[in-house]
């Protein structure tokens, strides 16, 4: 693996309306030149959003395109690439068939969550726009979904994936022979259900990504600044919507010069953008002309050549912000969650010699610690199992499905029964991940025990490993009787099972 620049990487974005490819050469962190980029109009979402399955013809067409991209990777001598599939493959019952066909073509596909789409789009946006410390609303609209986020330069604070992609809206709402204006009104009513959790008065502005907003900016003749960012006036977008609504599909191609696979979906897309601009209170929409594929190459380059741990730190920051946002949605005890996370991360760092886990595992532990009690929103009884459910079924920015499954299991085992062979969700994990869950949940139990009274009485913990024992020196207020009891009855048995070491709190 190279440890210096120049560095060549590539990204493949398998969307619902098209498959995109970009190859780039980085000459320094964050600075790259595009070697090649392609867009192949394979509409995977056409049948998925109606029938729930990918057709054999669509799979074959996608595999052929990917085989061509494999050849370009070889020609450009690119070793490092990442191929991701979004909502069409994610929502299909037979997405595995496409993944198998792609593997035969020499491309490994990773199906990503809406939260990961939002993270990659955020990386791309912040490479073009100085977001600073103020919070912005961003929207990445694809064929199958729209990822709406509240962000600043450092992190995503809230993100939600809505099934309002341009192809999905077209397939679900269009009626053959329908009057264009009636279709437009139907779209207006449907998109009106979109919501965001903050007042527009608190937002710095609205940033939109995706092929449709780029096409709309070009239709408006929007100029771009030195960094390649356009500013589309919301009033101009509304004027374009009026034009699109009265033109037929054929007229949009002939009079506006739109591609066939853009002419039919651009009205649904424009209606979503207009609704979001209204929610953001934005007079203009910033269009940075970047997207998920650009986020992938930026992320990949930083993963290969880390810059002072910046990628790890950014992922951890994003994880904490995402966990806070999810916890607040379910009215969790933020002070308890954050304190347990602080104690857990301190223990993780001090016990590295016995657990042997990675910095990535530390991030998963922090999220699990913050959200371990989120299930009390449903009921305090069995809340550890409710926490597992909520985490499993929620989007967490920067988390893969595998990581989210680990986090959910770690949170589930913060109390009551330890991991066992008859627990289905635990056994669905690979053996290596089951070991990670056992060790991380053991550390979480210790941290949770040290805040058993939920008053943050323990201010600092120091773990000392000596022979066959781990001793805890604790600074805090009060007699800590409840914390000591919780440590001995709940935390110590799992800790001793996971690490083979006795656990005691010093007097």
pLDDT tens for 63-103 read 999 999 999 999 999 999 999 999 999 999 999 999 999 99
pLDDT above 70: residue 432: yes
Q: How far is CA 319 from CA 61, 159, 363, in A?
A: 37, 12, 7
pLDDT tens for 126-179 read 999 999 999 999 999 999 999 999 999 988 888 889 999 999 999 999 877 677
Go through the domains of the chain in sequence order and give each one's CATH number: 7-112 (3.30.420.40), 130-287 (3.30.420.150), 308-505 (1.10.3210.10)
DSSP summary character for residue 197: S
Q: Give the pLDDT band (50/70/90) at residue 308.
A: low
pLDDT above 80: residue 310: no
Chain-wide mean pLDDT for the chain?
93
pLDDT above 90: residue 221: yes
- What pLDDT does 38 receive? 97
Mean pLDDT of all residues in 210-227: 96
pLDDT above 60: residue 1: no
Q: CA 292, CA 184: separation in Å to the nearest integer?
A: 28
Q: Give the pLDDT band (50/70/90) at residue 182.
A: confident
Q: Give the pLDDT band (50/70/90) at residue 115.
A: confident
Number of residues assigned to the chain: 507
Q: CA 137, CA 152: separation in Å to the nearest integer?
A: 9
Q: Give the pLDDT band (50/70/90) at residue 350.
A: very high
SS3 helix, strand, coil % of the chain, rounded to 5? 50, 20, 30
pTM: 0.82
Query: 192-201, 206-215, 378-387: lowest mean pLDDT where?
Result: 192-201
The residue whose two tokens read 């190859």 is: 23
Sheet holding 80-85, edge to edge: 31-40, 19-28, 7-14, 80-85, 109-111
pLDDT above 90: residue 337: yes
Q: Give the pLDDT band (50/70/90) at residue 2.
A: very low
Rounded to 5°, angle at Cα 357 from 352 and 359: 90
- What pLDDT does 346 receive? 96
Q: Give the pLDDT band (50/70/90) at residue 309.
A: low
Q: Mind giving me the DSSP string for 70-90?
A: HHHHHHTT--EEEEEE-HHHH
Q: Mind giving me the DSSP string for 7-56?
A: EEEEEEEE-SS-EEEEEEEEEETTEEEEEEEEEE---THHHHHHHSS--H
Q: How far is CA 398 from CA 60, 114, 387, 403, 404, in A?
A: 31, 10, 19, 9, 10
Query: 77-86, 197-206, 247-256: lowest mean pLDDT where?
Result: 197-206
Mean pLDDT of all residues in 186-212: 93
């Amino acid at each position: 693996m190279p440890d210096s620049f120049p560095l060549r990487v590539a990204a493949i974005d398998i969307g619902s309306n098209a498959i995109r490819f970009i190859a780039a050469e980085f000459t320094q962190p964050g600075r790259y030149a595009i070697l090649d980029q392609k867009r192949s109009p394979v509409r995977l979402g056409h049948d998925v959003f109606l029938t729930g399955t990918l057709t054999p013809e669509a799979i074959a067409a996608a595999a052929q395109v990917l085989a061509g991209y494999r050849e370009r990777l070889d020609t450009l001598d690119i070793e490092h690439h990442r191929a991701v599939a979004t909502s069409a493959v994610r929502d299909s019952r037979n997405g595995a068939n496409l993944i198998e066909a792609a593997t035969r073509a020499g491309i490994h596909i990773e199906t990503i969550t809406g939260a990961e789409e939002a993270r990659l789009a955020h990386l791309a946006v912040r490479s073009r726009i100085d977001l600073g410390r103020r919070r912005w609303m961003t929207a990445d609209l694809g064929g199958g979904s729209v990822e709406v986020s509240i962000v600043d330069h450092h992190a995503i604070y809230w993100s939600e994936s809505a099934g309002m992609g341009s192809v999905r809206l077209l397939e679900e709402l269009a009626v053959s022979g329908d009057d264009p204006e009636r279709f437009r009104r139907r779209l207006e009513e449907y998109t009106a259900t979109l919501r965001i959790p903050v007042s527009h008065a608190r937002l710095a502005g609205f940033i939109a990504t995706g092929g449709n907003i780029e096409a709309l900016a070009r239709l408006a003749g929007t100029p771009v600044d030195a960094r390649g960012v356009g500013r589309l006036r919301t009033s101009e977008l509304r004027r374009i919507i009026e034009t699109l609504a009265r033109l037929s599909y054929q007229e949009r191609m002939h009079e506006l010069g739109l591609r066939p696979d853009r002419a039919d979906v651009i009205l649904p897309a424009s209606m979503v953008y207009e609704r979001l601009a209204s929610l953001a209170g934005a007079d203009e929409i910033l269009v940075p002309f970047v997207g998920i594929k650009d986020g992938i190459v930026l992320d990949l380059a930083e993963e290969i050549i880390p810059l002072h741990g910046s990628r790890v730190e950014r992922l951890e920051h994003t994880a904490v912000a995402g966990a806070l946002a999810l916890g607040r949605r379910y009215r969790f005890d933020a002070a308890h969650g954050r304190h347990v996370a602080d104690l857990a991360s301190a223990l993780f760092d001090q016990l590295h010699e016995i657990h042997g886990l990675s910095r990535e595992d530390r991030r998963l532990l922090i999220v699990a610690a913050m959200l371990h009690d989120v299930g009390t929103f449903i009921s305090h009884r069995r809340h550890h199992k409710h926490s597992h459910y909520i985490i499993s079924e929620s989007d967490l920015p920067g988390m893969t499905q595998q990581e989210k499954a680990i986090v959910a299991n770690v949170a589930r085992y913060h109390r009551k029964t330890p991991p066992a062979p008859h627990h289905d969700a635990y056994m669905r994990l690979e053996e290596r991940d089951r070991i990670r869950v056992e060790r991380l949940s053991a550390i979480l139990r210790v941290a949770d025990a040290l805040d058993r009274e939920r008053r943050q009485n323990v201010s600092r913990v120091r773990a000392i490993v000596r022979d066959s024992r781990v001793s805890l020196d604790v600074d805090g207020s009060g007699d800590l009787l409840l914390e000591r009891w919780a440590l001995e009855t709940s935390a110590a048995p799992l800790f001793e099972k996971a690490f083979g070491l006795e656990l005691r709190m010093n007097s």
